[in-house]
Chain A
Amino acid sequence: MLVFISYLLIIGAGTGGELCVSRAMKAVGEVKDFRPAALVGVMTRALRVSWMWVGLTLMGTAFFSLLAVLSRENVSLVVPVTALSYGAGALGGKFFLGEQVTPRRWAGVFLVCIGVTIVIMGRR
């Protein structure tokens, strides 16, 4: 049960965190000036958006959940589960960020999911 909750946290909090960071950056607005001083300004503005802090906290939670699971389970069992985050990411993009996830994009996400699982399972 504890491992299941940890898996849920790895996928849910990990992807949720990235979605929140994405939402924060959309609030900051499109970056058009890439000079160092301008980039520092962008970072400062991003840190003032509460979604950024929610995102970073969730990503931290996912990271420590991954460490907790890895202390009990084999990497070859744990990491393929994280490939599910690509599916969760597409769903979150659609419903949380209002992105248009077309059938073509779903097909690509599906291929990536399978590919990532095979890559991780193929590790020696």
Chain B
Amino acid sequence: MKSSAGLHFKTYLLIFLMVMFGPLGNVLLGKGMKRIGAVSIATPAGALDFLSGVLTSGTVWLGIGSLMIFFVANILVLSWADYSYVQPASSVAYGMSALLAHFLLREVVTPTRWIGVLLICLGVLVVGHTPPRTTEPS
């Protein structure tokens, strides 16, 4: 079992990237798709309209890029860190989504939701006090 400072640093860094880019990607995709609007994909013409709307939307591409960074960071951190560590630790993304919704989108975040975010942060703090890797490296 290794718990060196370097291991902790790169684990925290990649989880930070996941927490930043996961919610950001979802928000950007959501905004991009809303701009495209409701399109019927039941007909070939509708499907083509939808596809061209998606492919020409800068916001959608930014969203896809953010989610790609999230996915790469996720699989890289799993090359050394425990899944049972990364999964709960990355749930800080729920807090990040609430902050993005509150400050960027001016959405109302209910007190109940803030309590949930607080509990997630507490849970992550508790998980963060366990070693990121408990298995032998292959």
Contacts and interface: CB of A to CB of B under 8 A. Distances in A.
A109 B88 contact: yes
Contacts of A110: 123
B32 to A, nearest CB: 19
Contacts of B112: 118, 121-122
Given A89-B87, A116-B120, A111 B113 contact: no
Given A29-B79, A42-B76, A18 B110 contact: no
Contacts of B84: 89-90, 92-94, 97, 99, 101, 105, 109
A93 B82 contact: yes
Contacts of B55: none
Contacts, number: 149
Contacts of B129: 104
Contacts of B83: 18-19, 22, 89, 92-93, 97, 99
Given A29-B138, A30-B137, A122-B116, A115 B82 contact: no
A25 interface: yes
A104 to B, nearest CB: 6
Chain A's interface: helix, strand, loop or mixed, by majority?
Answer: helix
Contacts of B114: 122
Chain B contact-residue range equals 35 or more
Contacts of B125: 108
Nearest to A85: B87
3 A-B pairs closest in CB distance = A111-B123, A93-B84, A118-B116
A68 interface: no
B56 interface: no
B135 interface: yes
Contacts of B72: 39, 43
A116 B134 contact: no
20 contacts: A21-B78, A26-B78, A28-B79, A42-B76, A43-B72, A86-B91, A89-B88, A90-B88, A97-B135, A98-B135, A99-B85, A102-B130, A107-B123, A108-B124, A108-B125, A115-B91, A115-B118, A118-B116, A119-B94, A121-B112
